[in-house]
Amino acid sequence: MPQIPDHPLRYALANELHARPFPSLKAPCFAAYVAVKREHDAAGRDREADRAHLIALLDRHGAPHPQPGATHYSGKIGRHQLKWESHTEFVTYTLFGEGVMARAFDPAAFDVFPEDWLAEAPGVRVSSALIRVEEQRDEEDISARLSEWFVPESLAASWVLDREALVAGDFRIDQAGHMRFAIFTAPGIGKRRVGRIVQRICEIETYKSMSMLGLARARSLSGRLGEVDGELSRLVGAMGGQGAADATLDELLSISAELEDLMAQSSFRFGATGAYEAIVNQRIAVLREERFGGRQTWAEFMTRRFDPAMRTVKAAERQLASMSERAKRAGDLLRTRVDVERSAQNQALLESMDRRADLALRLQQTVEGLSVVAISYYALNLAGYFLYPAARALGLSKELTFAALSLPVVALVWLMVRRIRKSMGH
């Protein structure tokens, strides 16, 4: 029986929902995590360079390669389990190992990533972390360990997932260059639930770090935005004066172009920051935190330390958009003023041309009048000399002959000139 054809991407898109399974972990264990991002144009990077770097690590352990074009990979390398993921702007490597070192957060735990291999990474480190997972102890013992391992001022610790685990971290970079996070799990907790908790912590840290890139961008813009705001206010204030509107419009267009350029350079970073912030808050929400020993929760830490940074980013984004809109409105108003001034100039020019046309017409009429006189003078002389013999035979004097001919000759010349002018007018 014939079936309805499937969309070409139906299976690929359905499988994508199951392509990144959580690791299965059992306490005690540890995770070493690093996120790598190309410093500039990370979204448009050569992703084959990321895969080549992954393959270089796999080849050291004789591990199988990922599929061509893969965006994620899980496999065993040596005694550890590797999880690799490629994201829009960065790639992450997480190595999971059994047991924990006697010394908490010993930098040697990160040696699972070869130093020379890390140095060849196609990008820079955005974040790295060591995560220590132990079985739960009594609360006093946990509190003592947290006080020893973390900075109390910024320590965030809370029960999660119906008290099946306790997560803690101070979000500070230690002397070895890594973040530190501790997880204490309850007896009988499932391996996949432990894996989900570790994965959530890695995601919270990474997306928090990526979000903070927006703050750096906002701070780099703040100085120039203040200068541009002053220039824009000065130009808008000058619009009501009698200065040269064309020069003001040129300055305003220059500012508008600069603002558009700043928006183009910042729109992706600000948009990404908003998306990363939402992921951070969502990942914390799914942990279902409960307070531990009167300490701040992760959500409270983010409210005090992270949210103000995100508000700064949003304020810079709004300021940039507002200034761009102000410059656009001012430019429209100034263009209207320039158009009105030019229309007035054109009207004055037309009136001047009308006056000149009137003068030309009067001059033409004057010339025509003089031409009638001149033509009449010559015509009268010709007619007088032509008719004078006949007039003398009739006993008429020369003066009388010219006097008799003057009026008809002038009338005849005037009619002739008038007819010529009418024919030229048609």
Cβ neighbour number for residue 109 with a 10 Å cutoff: 21
3, part of any domain:
no
Give the C-alpha separation, 131 to 29, whole Å: 9
34, part of any domain:
yes
- Nearest CA to 220 out of 273, 265, 275, 278 is that of 265
Give the C-alpha separation, 381 to 341, whole Å: 59
Report the domain count for the chain. Answer: 3
Give the C-alpha separation, 357 to 184, whole Å: 99
**Whether residues 176 and 323 fall in one domain:** no
Pull the structure tokens for residue 66. 């990922």
The reported pLDDT for the residue numbered 348 is 75
**Whether residues 147 and 217 fall in one domain:** no
**Whether residues 187 and 58 fall in one domain:** yes
**Whether residues 366 and 240 fall in one domain:** no
**Whether residues 300 and 411 fall in one domain:** no
Give the C-alpha separation, 402 to 400, whole Å: 5
pTM reported for the whole predicted model: 0.76
The reported pLDDT for the residue numbered 235 is 76
Of 300, 316, 348, which residue is a domain's last?
348
Q: What is the residue type of 292?
A: F
**Whether residues 150 and 29 fall in one domain:** yes
Of 205, 235, 265, which residue is a domain's last?
205
The reported pLDDT for the residue numbered 346 is 76
- Across the strands, what pairs with 131? 31, 181
The reported pLDDT for the residue numbered 400 is 67
The reported pLDDT for the residue numbered 97 is 94
Of 348, 370, 385, which residue is a domain's last?
348
The reported pLDDT for the residue numbered 244 is 58
Structural domain boundaries enclosing 288: 211-348
Give the C-alpha separation, 345 to 355, whole Å: 15
**Whether residues 149 and 229 fall in one domain:** no
Which single residue is written with the structure tokens 């947290």?
Answer: 146
Give the C-alpha separation, 180 to 173, whole Å: 8
CB within 8 Å of 401: residues ≥ 6 apart: 384, 387, 388, 391
- Nearest CA to 158 out of 294, 337, 305 is that of 294
7, part of any domain:
no
Strand 124-135 vs strand 90-98: parallel, antiparallel, or unpaired?
unpaired
Q: What is the residue type of 216?
A: A
Chunked into runs of 10 residues, the chain (426 residues) has average pLDDT values of 79 72 90 95 92 95 90 91 95 95 92 93 96 92 94 95 96 95 94 95 96 93 84 73 64 81 89 95 96 94 94 92 81 67 73 77 67 68 67 66 68 72 63
400, part of any domain:
yes
| Cβ 202 vs Cβ 92: under 8 Å | yes
Pull the structure tokens for residue 425. 């007018």
354, part of any domain:
no
**Whether residues 171 and 47 fall in one domain:** yes
44, part of any domain:
yes
* DSSP letter (8 states) at residue 41: S
